[in-house]
Amino acid sequence: MDDKTRTAAGIAANLQGIKYDDKRLAELAAEVELLNGAVREAAAQRLTFDDDPANFASLMAREARK
Amino acid sequence: MRNDDLALEDLSAIADAIAAGRITSVEATEACLARIETWQPRTNAFIRVLKEKALAQARAMDAELKAGKRRGPLHGVPMAHKDMYYRKGELSTGGSSIRKDWIAPVTATALQKLDAAGVVELGFLNMAEFAAGPTGHNVHFGHCKNPWDEKRVTGGSSSGSGASVAARMTYGALGSDTGGSIRMPAAACGVVGMKATYGRVSRAGAVARSWSLDHVGPLTRTVRDNARVLAAIAGHDPADSTTSEKPVPDYEALLEGGVAGLRIGLALPSDGPGGLDAGIGGAIQTAADVLGKLGAKISPVTLPDFTALYRAAEVMVKCEAAAMHRPWMEKTPELYANQVRTRMEAGFFIPATQYIDALRLRAHFVAEFLATAMDGVDAVLLPAIPFPIPTIEETDTENKGGPAVLKMVAGFTGLTRPFNTLGIPALSVPCGFDRNGVPIGMQLVGRPFDEAMLYRIGHAYQGATDHHTRVPA
C-alpha cells in the first residue's frame, strides 16, 4: 500500500467510518488526487480571499440579457 | 382524426385543438395510451403507466372546458415525467431499488405548476438510478431502449423522457439535467430538450443528484412545445431558494423573431474524449449553414479548455451525492448498481476546502466563458453528443466495464456538463441522423436567462428543416 492509499485508508476508517478493500482504496486515492489537483491548480490561478461561492448567483443575475 | 393520428400531433397543436373544441382531452389521452401499448414493450420508457387516473383527469379537464374554464395553454394535454418528481402520497422510485416502495411526502413544484396548467399525467418514466448515468441503463427497472434502434441507448439520465416523446407516447415530458441528462436523451432520441439557466425552474420536490448542478426542464417534439412547457414551470419558488425572481418571459410570443442579423458562434471541438466524429461534425456544420441562409452571421469560436471546470464539477457532484446518499451507502450499498455507487465514493475523500473552492471557482468559469466563446455572439452552436449513439451492450459498465467502455461513457457528457457548471441555458435540437440512422442533436448555448434567444434560433431552424417531424417506425 503506497502513502496515498494509506491516507485514503485512514480517512475511510478513522474519519468516515466506511470500509473499502485495498484495491478500491488505491483507485479512490488516484481519483481524488486527480480531482483535488485540478481544483487546487485552478484555485491557485483564480481565487482571492474575497471570492464567495454566492458570487456565482449574483454574476448570473448581472450578466442576464437586459 | 384517428387516435393514432392524434398521438402524432405535437403538443401545441393538440393543446390548441382541445381549446378550440375540435378534440377532447380524453381523445388525446386515449391516443397516447394506445401508443404506449404499442411502444412500451419496445422501449421500456415507462416505469408506471397511470391509465385510469389519466383518463379521469382528462375527463375532468374536458368538463372544466365545457363549463368555460380553461386553465392555460396546456389545458388537457397528456404528459409523463421522469420518475423523480414527487407527488404527495404516491410512489416515487427515482429509478432505484432503494426507493422502490417509497411514498413521496410532498408534490414537486414543477408538477404543481403543471397541475395548475391543466396537464394530464400519463405516468412516470424510466431513468438512470438516482439520475446517475448518461446512457439509459437501469439494472432495477430494465434498460431503456432507443425507439430509432432498440439495440442502442437512449442517452440518460432522462432516458424514458427522451424515448417516450420520440415514440409519440406522450406530447412532452419533464427530465432533469446535472451533466447533460435532458440534452443527451433529447439528442439521441431526436427531440428537443432545454436545460434552462440555473435558478430558472424550481428543483423542489425533485430527486437531487447534485444541488449545485441540477436543472429541471422539458423534453418535447418541437421548440414551440418546449417554450410552452418551460413557461408553465419556470419562475421563483419559495421552496427552492436558488430560484430567480426574474420575471418569466412569454417565450412562445418571442419565437418568431427570426435569426436575421443574429450572431452565432460555431464550435466544432476536436479534442476531448474520443474527439468529434466526422459525421456529427458535418451535421452541425450543415445546421450552421441553414441558419446562415436564414440570415444569421455564423463565425467560428473556440471553446475554452474545460478540463478544470469539468473536474470542479466532478468534485461538486461526488461530494454532494456522497453526503445525501451516505446513510444508504453505509447500510445497504448492495442495493445500488455498481456504476452508480462507485461514482459517488470519492466524495467521502475529497476535502471540504476543495469542494468549497470548486463552488468559488464557478463565477470565474462563467466570466471566462462569457468573455471568450460568447464574446460578441448571441449564442454558441455545438454538438450535444460528439459521436454516433452506441449500443446498450457497448456501454454496459455494469457487466462489461474496461477502459474503452468507461471512456465512451465518459465521452457522452464532454460537451454538455460544462454548461451545468456554468449554469447558462443550453437547448438540444435534432439536426440529422448518424450513420446508424439514429438522431443527432445540436446544442445552442446562450447567456444567463436568455432561453428566449435559444428558442428563437431553434424555432427558425425547425421552420427550415424537417428532422423534428420524423417519427420512428
Residues B413-454 have pLDDT tens digits of 999 999 999 999 999 999 999 999 999 999 999 999 999 999
pLDDT at B275 over 90: no
Q: Provide Rg for chain A, Cα atoms.
A: 18
Q: Does B10 reside within a domain?
A: no
To the nearest whole Å, the CA of B364 is away from the closest chain A CA by: 7
Residue in B373, B363, B409 with CA at minimum distance from that of residue B134: B409
Instruction: Tell me the chain A residues in contact with residue B314 when contact means C-beta distances shorter than 8 Å.
Output: 35
The yes-or-no answer on residue B96 being catalytic is no
Quick check: B307 pLDDT over 80?
yes
Note whether A60 contacts B364, CB cutoff 8 Å.
no
Domain that holds residue B234: 81-308+340-469
Q: What is the pLDDT of residue B399?
A: 85
In a domain, B408, yes or no: yes
Percent of chain A past pLDDT 90, that is, above it, reads 89
The whole-angstrom distance between B16's CA and the closest CA on chain A is 31
Residue B12 lies in a domain: no
User: What does the alpha-carbon distance between residue A31 and residue B8 come to, in Å, rounded to a whole number?
Assistant: 47
Q: Residue B423's domain is classified under what CATH number?
A: 3.90.1300.10
Inside any domain, residue B449: yes
The burial class, CB within 10 Å (0-12 / 13-18 / 19+), for A44 is exposed
pLDDT for position B273: 53
Give yes or no: B181 in active site.
yes
Which residue's C-alpha cell is 442495493? B335
- Chain A touched by B331 (CB under 8 Å): no
Model ipTM over 0.95: yes
* Percentage above 90 pLDDT, chain B: 94
What is the total count of domains within chain A? 1
> Does residue B292 belong to any structural domain of this protein?
yes
Closest CA to B173 of B100, B83, B239: B83
Residue B177 forms part of a structural domain: yes
Q: Is the pLDDT of residue B272 over 60?
A: no
Choose the closest CB to A47 out of B307, B360, B370.
Answer: B360
Q: Which residues of B touch A63 (CB under 8 A)?
A: 366, 370, 447-448
Determine which one of B25, B82, B145, B164 is catalytic. B82
How many distinct structural domains can be found in chain B? Answer: 1
Residue with cell 438522431: B439
- The model's confidence at residue A66, banded by pLDDT at 50, 70 and 90, is low
Residues 23-42 of A with CB under 8 A from B: 24, 28-29, 31-32, 34-36, 38-42
Average of per-residue pLDDT values in chain B: 96
Residue B65 lies in a domain: no
B244, B307, B367 member nearest A59 (Cβ) = B367
Peptide bond into B161 cis (omega under 30): no
Task: Check pLDDT > 70 for residue B237.
Answer: yes
According to the model, what pLDDT value does residue A47 have?
Answer: 98
Reply yes or no on whether B82 is catalytic.
Answer: yes
- Answer yes or no: is pLDDT of B251 > 70: yes
Query: Is B158:B187 a contact under the CB 8 Å cutoff?
Result: no
A11 confidence band (pLDDT: 50, 70, 90): very high
Q: For residues B46-54, give the mean pLDDT.
A: 98
Q: Which of residues 418-457 of B touch A (CB under 8 A)?
A: 423-424, 447-450, 453
Enter the pTM of the model. Answer: 0.97
Question: What local confidence, expressed as pLDDT, does residue B278 receive?
Answer: 94
Tell me if B29 is assigned to some domain: no
B407–chain A Cβ distance below 8 A for any pair = no
- Using a CB–CB cutoff of 8 Å, tell me whether B318 touches chain A: yes
CB pair distance less than 8 Å for A32 and B311: no
Its domain, for residue A50, covers 3-63
Reading across the β-sheet that carries B263-266, which strands appear in turn?
A: B46-49, B120-125, B78-82, B172-177, B215-220, B192-195, B426-433, B439-445, B379-383, B263-266, B297-300
pLDDT tens digits, one per residue of B311-362: 999 999 999 999 999 999 999 999 999 999 999 999 999 999 999 999 999 9
Q: Is pLDDT above 70 for B271?
A: no
Distance CA B118, CA B139 (A): 34
Subunit contact A46:B361, Cβ cutoff 8 A = yes
pLDDT at site B398: 86
In this prediction, residue B410 has a pLDDT band, given cuts at 50, 70 and 90, of: confident
Average pLDDT on B106-133 reads: 98
Residue A35 has its nearest CB partner, among B197, B350, B453, at B350
